[in-house]
Structure 1
């Protein structure tokens, strides 16, 4: 018989090294322990397209695309309060809306939204029909982007961007950590990492991170064997700090400073300050890792359809050239850059 502890372990850690190479669609997300084949790698990962960053200028690369559509919550709040929504409220609304989608049982919700749509047709009320149809479209898009394509977490693409760093048991600082996914992926790739996650809102610590599934498997390495290994959330050493990044008292003590979807939330006049947040806490020779959503037609459509979920804050879509030029002009050398399914990525170091 299985002991109670063994049953709990199997439930929380359902995948082992024997599952490496497998993938499966689960109710809320995709688990993916595959590595890219050479053909797939070239299809989904494009790296180092710029030979000399000093030769780029804004006339050549153009400006980022600003997402103008706003969520209904944001518009209603601003109408009631007769003022722009403040940043803290914006992030609170966004994180709650985003998390509600991450925890959806997609097959079950799909069935319910379709039934709701058919009921709305019988009502002959155009408003109800439009709302129900909108819910169906949103859920189908979320299912495709997150659960089928795994474009938001994109573990294989993130590993391709983050591999090969010259670090051993690194100290990692994640700025704007939300649920902390990418820092945990780094923890799997570079075992023994000490991870500090920082976010503006208590909700990110107590809900988004706290409810990140214990059963999600991260493909990483086993330093004792040099082979691949499956890791889980409770394998990592993590401290979660709720604070404004500008208030952090850390010194230059981190091997890696990471941000995911942070730079694009600030207009140009603040981007150099965002770049400095990455420099301020790095050890000499440390790495700044950044990703932003790509400026592509699919992304523009996504942020239009999912406006009520995504668009509570200022947001831009960029090319990797635009993203890299911001960091290059802010005193960073770009050691690796590229784009994966829906994100741009940079690995850079202060000059």
Structure 2
């Protein structure tokens, strides 16, 4: 007999927020009326007046993960891009599935035990683990800065689509496409990533009990949606080899543009243009260039920094998009990300 998934939240839980062991449940403001807006929105009034001399180039994160450095030392070559993504996905996913309170408790016990036995090397390692766990707990679980459902809903609201086809390039666990599917019911979602681990672990192990706030088309009111209620297909493929045409209402990427140097950014942006319908939407986010983001990527280097990475401000991100032939419909930044809605010019 198959196990039936019990959905733990419904419309009776609107305006609730609480901490689960590995993430925050966020059901506040189901109608979007008082939704967290961009911290600062539409900061550029005329993109044609911007140039790189005015705004400078993005900040390059140059502290690499120890696993990458060890691989390169052993293999006497730069780590290939696909290999670096494989390492990153496995490393990052381990943090999403942690029971943070239990792990913190266990690490503190280990720290006390090591200290009492004067095992100073162990003390140093465990102390580093505790710092990372506390930072992860604050950024992802307490502040909800990585998934950021309230900020993402502010970015995604008001699109002129019904039952859209959504293509998510470099989808990982597919979070943002699921948020869009909740907001625009009847969506058909195609997630694409060339690392099979993203399908078999990052997406598959995304909690089926995580609630997304969205709309109920039959009543016109708000509704709680879950992953298993959505129409989602996962394709394991290099996005350069996709056979789709211009058939998607929304083409989405999250944290993709900043992973390639300038000579490849036009190609990344063209991959979005290649699949979007006339009048359809391009949605993109990148991590913000701010002091706390620099601190985060420095402390969490062994978790996060297996790949080339930049931190941008919204003007830099937008100028890449504008110069590639897109009109920017909405732009701004939320907790830790820049966000842009664009259309092909």
Distance apart, 1:228 and its partner CA? 0.6
Paired residue for 1:287?
281
Paired residue for 1:8?
4
Q: Give the structure with the higher percent helix.
A: 1
Distance apart, 1:126 and its partner CA? 3.2
Alpha-carbon distance change, 187 to 39 in structure 1, aligned in 2, over 3 angstroms: closer
* C-alpha separation in 1, matches of 2:11 and 2:70: 49
Paired residue for 1:18?
12
Structure 2: 5+ residue runs without aligned partners?
A: none
Distance apart, 1:116 and its partner CA? 1.4
Paired residue for 1:257?
251
Which one of 111, 115, 122 corresponds to residue 117 of structure 1?
111
Q: Does 1:32 align with 2:26?
A: yes
Q: Deviations over 1:238-270 (max 9, x none)?
A: 110001010011000000000000000000000
Distance apart, 1:38 and its partner CA? 7.9
Which one of 198, 201, 206 corresponds to residue 207 of structure 1?
201
Paired residue for 2:316?
322
Structure 1 runs (4+) deviating above 6 angstroms are 36-40
Distance apart, 1:123 and its partner CA? 3.4
Superposed, 1:1-351 pairs within 5 Å as 8-9=4-5, 11=6, 13-35=7-29, 41=36, 45-351=39-345
- Alpha-carbon contact 2:35-2:154 (below 8 Å) kept: no
Distance apart, 1:297 and its partner CA? 0.3
* C-alpha separation in 1, matches of 2:110 and 2:48: 55
- Alpha-carbon contact 1:176-1:198 (below 8 Å) kept: yes
- Alpha-carbon contact 1:45-1:160 (below 8 Å) kept: no
Distance apart, 1:34 and its partner CA? 1.0
Match of 2:4, SS state, is helix
- Alpha-carbon contact 2:281-2:342 (below 8 Å) kept: yes
Match of 1:41, SS state, is coil
Distance apart, 1:39 and its partner CA? 7.9
Distance apart, 1:40 and its partner CA? 7.3
Distance apart, 1:121 and its partner CA? 1.5
Q: Deviations over 1:145-174 (max 9, x none)?
A: 000000000000000001101111000000
* C-alpha separation in 1, matches of 2:336 and 2:203: 22
Match of 2:342, SS state, is strand
TM (norm. structure 1) is 0.95
* C-alpha separation in 1, matches of 2:253 and 2:110: 39
- Alpha-carbon contact 1:170-1:193 (below 8 Å) kept: yes
Distance apart, 1:8 and its partner CA? 3.5
- Alpha-carbon contact 2:26-2:149 (below 8 Å) kept: yes
* C-alpha separation in 2, matches of 1:46 and 1:225: 33
TM (norm. structure 2) is 0.97
Distance apart, 1:315 and its partner CA? 0.3
Q: Deviations over 1:31-65 (max 9, x none)?
A: 101129988736x6321111111111111111100
* C-alpha separation in 1, matches of 2:34 and 2:217: 28
Distance apart, 1:22 and its partner CA? 0.8
Match of 1:8, SS state, is coil
Size of the aligned set, in residue pairs, is 344
Structure 1: 5+ residue runs without aligned partners?
A: none
- Alpha-carbon contact 1:175-1:197 (below 8 Å) kept: yes
